[in-house]
Amino acid sequence: MAAAAAVGPGPGDSPEGPEADAPGRRRKTHGMLKLYYGLSEGEAAGYSAGPDSLDPTDLNGAHFDPEVYLDKLRRECPLAQLMDSETDMVRQIRALDSDMQTLVYENYNKFISATDTIRKMKNDFRKMEDEMDRLATNMAVITNFSARISATLQDRHERITKLAGVHALLRKLQFLFELPSRLTKCVELGAYGQAVRYQGRARAVLQQYQHLPSFRAIQDDCQVITARLAQQLRQRFREGCSGAPEQAECVELLLALGEPAEELCEEFLAHARGRLEEELRSLETDLGPSPPAPDVLEFTDRGGNGFVGGLCQVAATYQELFAAQGPAGAEKLAAFARELGGRYFVLVERRLAQEQGGSDNSLLVRALDRFHRRLQAPGALLAAAGLSELATEIVERVARERLSHHLQGLRAAFLSCLTDVRQALAAPRLAGKEGPSLAELLANVASSILSPIKASLASVHLFTAKEVSFSNKPYFRGEFCSQGVREGLIVGFIRSMCQTAQSFCDSPGEKGGATPPALLLLLSRLCLDYETATISYILTLTDEQFLVQDQSPVTPVSTLCAEARETARRLLTHYVKVQGLVISQMLRKSVETRDWLSTLEPRNVRAVMKRVVEDTTAIDVQVGLLYEEGVRKAQSSDSSKRTFSVYSSSRQQSRYAPSYTPSAPMDTNLLSNIQKLFSERIDVFSPVEFNKVSVLTGIIKISLKTLLECVRLRTFGRFGLQQVQVDCHFLQLYLWRFVADEELVHLLLDEVVASAALRCPDPVPMEPSVVEVICERG
C-alpha cells in the first residue's frame, strides 16, 4: 500500500475515469499519503483544500463517511439512479484494484535493483578510503623535504639578487658616462631623434644626482651638447627648405628638449606665414593688372590647392604640436588663419569681381563650389577663425552680384528689344513695303523678353543645385530664392519693365515725342498680356524652380498684375491722347487757317475731313490688330444711313430752323439746354478700357471736342457755316461706326454745328438734302 501511495500520483497513472475527477482523486490520494506519513491534519488542510474536503459525502474527500454517503444516496436518489451508481462504483472499485496491482508489481522490481546498486557502492567506497589514506602520508613526506631545501638555499638567493641590482646600476652608470659621447655621435650623424631620446632618459637622473661631482660633470657635458643639438635643430628648422613634416619633427624634438613652447609657436607660425605668403604672391601675380590668364576655375583650384591646402597642413601640424598650449595657442592660430585667410579672400574677391561681367554662370558656380568646398576643411579645424563663414559670405556676395548682373542683362535685353521694335515700326515706311504686323512684333517682343528671363533663371538656378557645396546654406535655401531671385530678379525686372513702359507716357516733349504711337499700343498690349498670363506664369516657374522656403513676405502676383494693368491702362490712355492730338492738330489747323467769312459756297467735303476719316480708319486697323473689338452700346444695327437721316433731317432741322426764324427766337437755346440736360457730361480725356471701341471713342472724343472749341473761336460767314455743316455731316457718316455710343458723335457734331451757327452773323443753313448729296459725292 505504501509503495502504491508513493508512486500513484504520477501523471498518466489513472488511465480511466473522467478527466474532471482526476484532481479530486489525486487530492484524496495525497490526503491518504499525508495520513500515512503523519503530517498533521491542519497542515494538510492548509494547502490541499477548501471546506469541501470536510464534506463527508465527498467520495474523494479525506473525511469520507460511507454511512453518510449511503444514507444520502438512499434518501435522494431514485432506484434507477441507485442502481446506476452502484454499477458505477463497482466498476470503479475494480479499476482501482487492477491499478494498484500493476503499480505494486512495477515498483517492486525497481526496488530490488536499487538495493543491488547500493550494495555495490558500499564495496567501492571502502577501497577508495584506503587509497586516500596512502596519499595523505606521501604528501606529508614531500612537505618535509621541500622545507629542508628552502632552508639550504636561502642565503645564496639573497646574494644573487644583490648582484643583479648592482649589475643594473652599473649599466645605467655606464650609459651615463657614455652619454656625452653618444650624444655627440648622434648629433654628428644627424640622428636627432635618438639624441633627444637619450637626453630625455638621462635628464632626471642627472638632475637628481647633480651634487656628486662626477655626475655634475656629465650633466654639464650633456647640457653643452644638448644646447648644440637645439641650436642645430633650430638651424634646420629655420632653413625652411625642408618640408612641413620635417619641420614638424624639428619642432617636436625641440619641444622634447624643453625649449619654450610659445617661442616655438611664434617661430612656427612665422615660418608658415612665409610659405603661405609666397602662395598668395603667386596668386596675386596670376591676378595681375593684365587680363587674367587662367580662368576662374583654375585660379580657385590653384588657390585651393596651394594656399588653402598649406593652411590646412599648418593648422593640423600646429594643433598636433601645440595642443598643450591650450586656448591661448588656439587663439594664436585662429588669428593667424584669420589674417592670411582675409588676404586670400581679398584676392579671390578681386578675381571674382573680374568675372562679374562674364555670362558663363556654370564656370563661376563651379569655381565658387571648389573655393567653398576647400574652405570647409580648415573651417572644421579652425572654427574660431570663422573662415568658413567668411567664405560663405563671399559666395553669397557673388551670388547677389550675379543676380543684379542678370537683372541688368534683362533690362538691357528689354531695351534693345524696344529699339528693335522702333526700327521695325519705322522701317516699313522707308522700304515702302509691308513690314511685320503689330501682332507679330508683339509676339517677337514677348518671346525675346521671356527667353532671357528663362535663361537667367536657369543660370541662377545653378547656385542652388544639390551637388554644389554651399547650396544647403541657409542663405541659399531661403533668402537667395525668395528675396534674391523672386523679388530681386523677377519682380524687379517686371517692375522695371512697367516703369520703362510708363516712362513713355511722360516724355517731356508731350507731343507724342519720339515714341511712335504704335509702340505705345504694343507696350500696352504687352503689359496687359503680362497681367493676364505671363506674370503668373513666370512667377510659378520661379517658385517651382526655387522652392521658396523663406517665410519673409513676397510680392503677391495680384500686386504685380495690378501694376502691369495700371501700366497698360496708362499706356493706352497715352496712346489715345497722342493719336487724338494728331487728329486734333489737323482739325485745329484746318479751322484756324481758313478765312471762314469769305469762303465760297461748299461744293465738297474739305480734304482734311477725309484725311481725318482715313487716319481714324488707319488707327482702327492698328488697334484692331492688338485689341479686341469691345462692346458697343446696343443700337439699331441698321446702317448709318438711317441714323444719320434722323440726325440730319429731323434733328438738325428742329435745331436750326427755329433759331433763324424770328417767330420763335428762343427755341434754339431752349432746345440745346434741354438736350444738355439729358446728355451726360462728356469727360474728354477719360481713361479708356482695353478694347478697340473704347480707344477709338477716346480718340474721336478728343478730336471732336477740339473741333468744337476751335469753331467757337472763329467767326463764320454764311458759306462758312454751310461748309462746317457739310464737314460735320461727313464726319458723322464715317465716324459713328468706330465709337461705342454713336449718340456721342451726334452730340458733339451737333454742338459743333450749333456753335458755328452762333458764330455766324448770317446763319443760313444748307438744305440737308444738299448736304447729303455733297457728302455722298465726296
Partner 1 sequence: MEDDAPVIYGLEFQVGLEETGGRCRLWLTRTCKRAHTDGKDSGLPGQGLGRRDQLGGWPSKAEGRHGPQRASARPAGARALTPQTAETDAIRFLVGTQSLKYDNQIHIIDFDDENNIINKNVLLHQAGEIWHISASPADKGVLATCYNKTSDSRVQACAAVWRMPKELESGSHESPDDPASNAQTLELLCHLDNGAHGNVACVVWEPMGDGKKVISLADSHILLWDLQASSSQAVHIHAVGLSGSFLRFIFSTPCLYSDGLYCQIYCIENAHGQLVRDLDFNPNKQYYLASCGDDCKVKFWDTRNVTEPVKTLEEHSHWVWSVRYNHSHDQLVLTGSSDSRVILSNMVSISSEPFGHLVDDDDVSDPEEHHAEKSKEPLQDNVIATYEEQEDSVYAVDWASADPWLFASLSYDGRLVINRVPRALKYHILL
Least distance from C-beta 599 to partner 1, angstroms? 10
Q: Provide the angle, in degrees to the nearest 10, between the axes of the packed helices 387-431 and 438-461.
A: 170
Q: Which of 10, 80, 666, 777 touches partner 1 by CB under 8 A?
A: 666
Binding range to partner 1, per CB under 8 A, among 492-500, 540-548, 590-598, 725-733:
590-598
Q: What is the nearest approach in angstroms of partner 1 to the Cβ of residue 699?
A: 15
b/e per residue 86-105 (b: at least 16 CB within 10 A): eeeeeeeeeeeeebeeebee
- Go through the chain and tell me how many residues it has: 778
Which 3 state secondary structure label does DSSP give 367? Answer: helix
Q: Which stretch binds partner 1 (CB under 8 A): 23-31, 634-642, 708-716, 735-743?
A: 708-716
| CB closer to partner 1, 602 vs 717 | 717
Q: Does 397 bind partner 1 (CB under 8 A)?
A: no
Is there binding between residue 689 and partner 1 (CB under 8 A)? no
- Backbone dihedral angles phi then psi of residue 632, each to the nearest 5 degrees: -95, 155
654 touches partner 1 by CB under 8 A: no
Binding mask 501-540 for partner 1 (x = CB under 8 A): -------xxxx-----------------------------
Cβ-based nearer residue to partner 1, 265 or 721:
721
List binders of partner 1 among 50-89 (CB under 8 A).
none
Binding to partner 1 in span 746-765, by CB under 8 A: 758-761
Q: Is residue 715 near partner 1 by the rule CB under 8 A?
A: yes
Binding residue (CB under 8 A) for partner 1 from 685, 764, 767, 776: 685
Q: Which CB sits closer to partner 1, 20 or 677?
A: 677
Q: Interface with partner 1 by CB under 8 A: which range of 23-31, 53-61, 633-641, 672-680?
A: 672-680
User: Which of 199, 189, 247 lies closest to 226 in space, CA to CA?
Assistant: 199
| CA-closest candidate to residue 55, choices 33, 24, 29 | 24
CB atoms within 10 A of CB 73: 15
CB of 480 closer than 8 Å to CB of 560: no
In the complex with partner 1, the residue whose CB is nearer, 300 or 725, is 725
Cβ atoms of 99 and 3 within 8 Å: the answer is no
Among the listed residues 34, 705, 729, 746, the single contact to partner 1 using CB under 8 A: 705
Angle between helices 607-626 and 557-592 (to 10 degrees): 170
Given a contact cutoff of 8 angstroms between Cβ atoms, the answer to whether 276 and 307 are in contact is: yes
**Is there binding between residue 581 and partner 1 (CB under 8 A)?**
yes
Q: Return the number of the residue (14 or 703) whose C-beta is nearest partner 1.
A: 703
Q: Which of 172, 165, 177, 171 is nearest to 215 (CA)?
A: 177
Residue 669 found at the interface with partner 1 (CB under 8 A): yes
Q: Binding segment for partner 1 among 64-72, 249-257, 265-273, 661-669 (CB under 8 A)?
A: 661-669
Q: Does 219 contact partner 1 by CB under 8 A? A: no
Among 325, 482, 573, 668, binds partner 1 (CB under 8 A): 668
The least CB distance from residue 688 to partner 1, in Å, is: 13
Q: Which of 287, 597, 608, 770 binds partner 1 (CB under 8 A)?
A: 597
φ and ψ of 466, to 5 deg: -65, -40
How far apart CA 622 and CA 618 sit, in angstroms, is 6
Residue 743, CA atoms < 13 Å, CB-side half-sphere = 13
Nearer to partner 1 by Cβ, of 532 and 585: the residue is 585
- Taking CB under 8 A as the criterion, the residue among 335, 670, 764, 773 binding partner 1 is 670
Element (H, E) at 318: helix 309-321
Site size for partner 1, by CB under 8 A?
32
Given 80, 142, 153, 677, the residue binding partner 1 (CB under 8 A): 677
Is 36 an interacting residue with respect to partner 1 (CB under 8 A)? no
Q: Which of 301, 689, 709, 741 binds partner 1 (CB under 8 A)?
A: 709
Decide: is 671 part of the binding site for partner 1 (CB under 8 A).
no
Residues 6+ apart with CB under 8 A from 678: none
User: CA-to-CA distance for 682 and 700, rounded, in angstroms?
Assistant: 12
Rounded to an integer, what distance in angstroms lies between the CA atom of residue 732 and that of residue 744?
A: 10
Q: Which of 628, 686, 767, 776 binds partner 1 (CB under 8 A)?
A: 686
What's the min distance (Å) between Cβ of 766 and partner 1?
A: 19
Q: How far apart are CA 444 and CA 439, in angstroms?
A: 9
Q: Tell me the three state secondary structure of residue 768.
A: helix
For partner 1, give the closer residue by CB, 287 or 684. Answer: 684
Query: Binding of partner 1 at residue 676 (CB under 8 A)?
Result: yes
Residue 125's H or E segment, with its range, is helix 79-189
Give me the least distance between CB of 658 and partner 1, in Å please: 11
Specify the DSSP class assigned to residue 471. Answer: T
Q: Does 674 bind partner 1 (CB under 8 A)?
A: yes
- Distance, in Å, from the CA atom of 532 to the CA atom of 510, rounded to the nearest integer, reads 29
Residue tagged 444695327 (cell numbers) = 637
Tell whether residue 684 is a contact of partner 1 (CB under 8 A): yes
Piece of the chain touching partner 1 by CB under 8 A; list 65-73, 85-93, 352-360, 678-686: 678-686
Q: Grid coordinates in use for 216?
A: 655634475
Choices 1-9, 164-172, 605-613, 710-718 (CB under 8 A): range interacting with partner 1: 710-718
Does 589 help bind partner 1 (rule: CB under 8 A)?
no
Place of cell 515706311: 429
| Minimum CB distance to partner 1 smaller for 650 or for 686 | 686
Distance, in Å, from the CA atom of 283 to the CA atom of 732, rounded to the nearest integer, reads 81
Q: Which helix (H) or strand (E) holds 703?
A: helix 692-712
Work out whether 626 is an interface residue with partner 1 (CB under 8 A): no
Choose between 4 and 758: whose C-beta lies nearer to partner 1: 758
Q: Which of 533, 665, 767, 773 binds partner 1 (CB under 8 A)?
A: 665
- By CB under 8 A, is residue 663 in contact with partner 1? no
CB under 8 A: which stretch of 21-29, 234-242, 679-687, 766-774 binds partner 1? Answer: 679-687
Q: DSSP letter string over 192-253?
A: HHHHHHHHHHHHHHHHHTTTSHHHHHHHHHHHHHHHHHHHHHHHHHHH--S-HHHHHHHHHH
Q: Which three cell numbers stand for residue 694?
A: 473704347
Nearest-angstrom CA–CA distance, 232 and 229: 5
Distance CA 673, CA 416 (A): 55
CB nearer to partner 1: pick between 619 and 711: 711
Nearer to partner 1, 337 or 591 (CB): 591
What is the smallest separation between the CB atom of 648 and partner 1, expressed in angstroms?
A: 22
Dihedral (C-alpha) 90, 96, 98, 104: value to the nearest 10 degrees? -150
The residue among 23 and 665 lying less far from partner 1, judged by its C-beta, is 665
Given a contact cutoff of 8 angstroms between Cβ atoms, the answer to whether 421 and 363 are in contact is no
Q: Identify residues 247-276 at the interface with partner 1 (CB under 8 A).
A: none
Question: Which residue from 484, 507, 654 is spatially nearest to 581, judged by alpha carbons?
Answer: 507
Regarding 717 and contact with partner 1 (CB under 8 A), the answer is yes
Helices (H) and strands (E) in the chain, counts: 28, 0
Rule CB under 8 A: say whether 598 interacts with partner 1. Answer: yes
Site map 465..504 versus partner 1, x via CB under 8 A? ----------------------------------------
C-alpha cell at 137: 602520508
Kindly state the smallest distance separating residue 422's Cβ from partner 1, in Å.
21
Residue ranges in contact with partner 1 by CB under 8 A: 508-511, 581, 595, 597-598, 659, 665-666, 668-670, 673-674, 676-677, 681, 683-686, 705, 709, 712, 715, 717, 758-761
